[in-house]
Structure 1
Amino acid sequence: MTMSRTTQFGFYLLFGAASNSAAAAGYALIEQSITGLGRAFSGSAAVADDASTIFFNPAGMTNLSRKEMNMGLNLIAPRAEFSDRGSNVNGTPLTGGDGSNAGELAAVPNFYYAHPLNDKTVVGIGVGAPFGLVTDYGDSWQGRYHAIRSDLLTLNINPSIAFKVTEKLSLGFGVNLQYIDLELSQAANFGSFLGNSQGNDGRVKVTADDWSWGYNLGMTYQFTEATRMGLSYRSKITHDLTGEGEFRIPENVNTQATAAGFQDGNVGGRVTLPESASIALVHQLNSQWSVMADASWTRWSRFEELQINSDVSRLNTLKEEDWENSMRYGLGVEYKANDRWSWRAGVAYDETPIPNAQRRTPRIPDSDRTWLALGASYHYSDNIILDAAYTHIFMKDSSIEDTFTSGTQTYELSGKYKSSVDIVGVQLRWLFD
């Protein structure tokens, strides 16, 4: 995916929604519900306490007895700080700084509407951003030949329907219409035209977009009045991105670089966003307390390589990735204090799909992460509910040994990342007859 808007000299650009702007592992954004955020999304395929179940498990809509509209906003504040451990080009240290904090504050909104047609059938629609990334290191950092800016936006429109097959079993189905827009940039080293290895940088920027579609399925089963299980599945979505690759060339080498084939051109690349599955349980201990848990799987092994194709040879490139499938585990609790206030908390462990330091890149310096979350709901009236949540994500320090060769130059970005993410979410729920 990265490559779909990528590269200069045959450099590769990692497409991801992850770097550290994505709050879930890989390049996914799980921030599709504020009530879910408050329990670290534990049990989301089974809880079905508001219309955001459209994303996590459409079958859960049969638990909603009234029409409901949700409007939520997540503010995601990531930190990704690089420290150098011998980065070089052909053995000569790479010049520049550490890039400071590469993360940027991102706003991730979502919208849901659920409408019961009768006591057995509910229809709904959800709009959100399941993948996303904004990260910027600046023009003068050491890894500028690997990455400068990554800006990924997705928009997912998810019409859904749910049926109560029996008093215990419900099934749900949804279609996902998904738009993706990508901008990636990195420095282009034109110093070789002047006989030096660094210090005469240009830039290459790739932009591309596409519409595609997939689907999601779900099931809930009510074992007892107090215990419910949920199973959910989201399909892969394949995007055939098309766009443009543009070089910014320093004036003093413009003639040589153009003659050498550094020209703007069309680019294209295929990206498959992975499928995922989840199993979840929720159990009501008594009239005030309930607990929930889940385990989720994502097929990141689909991310085997990044390839960009272009009518300009300098923009063609291939990069092996070899990501691994990953798991996420969550455990949460909710307390209904009275008719006005509800409180929730959760913890989750999210595995990274990146297998080692050699497969880690500055666009996606992902690592294993642990979530700690708190949330609350206030019933302002019979029709209006206000939700808020806060989550801190602790990320394991990670090493990077990212190497590529362009012509006679071999670039190695070697170092460590210290990363974390803070998320604040607010939501308005409007229930009506």
Structure 2
Amino acid sequence: MVGIFKKSKFDSKGLSSFGPYEETATAWSQGYIVGALYQWTENTSIGLSYNHFFETNLDATGTYHSKIAAQFPDTINIGLRHRVNDKLTVMLNLQEVLWRQFYLQQHTEIASGMTSSAHSHLNLKNSHLLSAGLAYRFTRKNVLDLGIGVDDGKFTISSRRLWLSAGLSHRFSKQCSIGLSYLYGSKQTSTVEAENPVTLASGGNTLAEQVNTLTMQSSNIVQIVALGFHYRF
């Protein structure tokens, strides 16, 4: 089992019942990875892993001040790794992202003493990512990693996304190594529609309860640079 700590930044803008809004927030998420590895042959192994993040809480500032709780999706991975020779290793991985778990709870102060609370289950579908990669050891201590993957975009009304990755690692000893990697996800557009129960309150008293139709549209490109340090005890 391995612990995970992730820092995320969120930017949101749109049109609410009270007018245009824009908010931003930064949050730390915690989770864990648990998995198993089976050595099929001397050069071939099969792995299975489960990645879980705990509920993330964040404070958003901007037009309004919001406290948001979000449950991000878990992931399941099954992978195959085969060492072709002393220099080249190839990998294949299938990942399922459990988007059905995703939800948002939002508590917003929209005016002095007036708050709006919403709880959204977005009814998303699980998505899948198929990827392949290779690791090439070009010197005794240096390895080049390259990868490509395709996301089916099934979690909502969405387009497929192409993933490309490249990395370089250096081994100081049998126990210690360092690596630098870059991940790029091509532009993906998506549309989500869901029921969004909203409660308006003032001074602790409920003023109104209503169910809105929440529509979210997004278009984004993903770029991630990671620096990692590995030590085997």
Residue equivalent to 2:42: 225
Matches within 5 A, 1:388-399: 388-398=180-190
1:337 deviates by 1.6
Matches within 5 A, 1:125-204: 126-129=3-6, 132-135=8-11, 145=19, 147-156=21-30, 176=31
Distance 2:155 2:21 in 1: 18
1:125-161 Cα shifts (integer Å, max 9, x gaps): x4521x6223366xxxx758465123241242xxxxx
Residue equivalent to 1:342: 143
Query: Which AA in structure 1 matches 2:11?
Result: T
User: Which of these two proteins has the greater Rg computed from alpha carbons?
Assistant: 1
Aligned 8 A contact 1:237 1:274 in 2: no
1:59-107 Cα shifts (integer Å, max 9, x gaps): xxxxxxxxxxxxxxxxxxxxxxxxxxxxxxxxxxxxxxxxxxxxxxxxx
Residue equivalent to 2:179: 387
Distance 2:154 2:74 in 1: 14
Residue equivalent to 1:424: 225
Residue 292 of structure 1 pairs with residue 168 of structure 2: no
Q: What TM-score results when the alignment is normalised by the length of structure 2?
A: 0.69
Residue equivalent to 1:186: none
Distance 1:420 1:244 in 2: 22
Bigger drift between 393-402 and 275-284 goes to 393-402
Distance 1:269 1:397 in 2: 24
1:310-366 Cα shifts (integer Å, max 9, x gaps): 896641334452211111221101111221321110011234465238xxxxxxxxx
Residue equivalent to 1:369: 161
Distance 1:270 1:430 in 2: 34
Aligned 8 A contact 2:23 2:60 in 1: no
CA change 1:422–1:413 in 2 (3 A) is same
Where 2:147 maps in the other structure, the secondary structure is strand
Residue 237 of structure 1 pairs with residue 54 of structure 2: yes
Residue equivalent to 1:102: none
Aligned 8 A contact 2:191 2:215 in 1: no
Count of aligned pairs between the two proteins = 216
1:219 deviates by 1.1
Residue equivalent to 1:276: 75
Distance 2:114 2:12 in 1: 27
1:430 deviates by 5.1
Higher relative contact order (CA 8 A, sep 6+): 1
Residue equivalent to 2:204: none
Q: What TM-score results when the alignment is normalised by the length of structure 1?
A: 0.40
Residue 329 of structure 1 pairs with residue 203 of structure 2: no
1:232 deviates by 1.2
Distance 1:401 1:234 in 2: 27
CA change 1:343–1:308 in 2 (3 A) is closer
Query: Which AA in structure 2 matches 1:224?
Result: T
Distance 1:300 1:400 in 2: 12
CA change 1:355–1:146 in 2 (3 A) is farther
CA change 1:278–1:411 in 2 (3 A) is closer
Distance 1:355 1:149 in 2: 24
Where 2:100 maps in the other structure, the secondary structure is helix
CA change 1:276–1:320 in 2 (3 A) is closer
1:212-265 Cα shifts (integer Å, max 9, x gaps): xxx6431110011101111112346356x59899987xxxxxxxxxxxxxxx9x
**Which residues of structure 2 form unaligned runs of 5+?**
201-207
CA change 1:286–1:369 in 2 (3 A) is same
Where 1:233 maps in the other structure, the secondary structure is strand
1:353-412 Cα shifts (integer Å, max 9, x gaps): 65238xxxxxxxxx54211111122335666533222232212345688999999xx999
The structure with the largest strand share of the pair is 2
CA change 1:369–1:146 in 2 (3 A) is farther
CA change 1:411–1:147 in 2 (3 A) is farther
Query: Which AA in structure 2 matches 1:232?
Result: S
Alpha carbon RMSD of aligned pairs, Å? Answer: 4.4
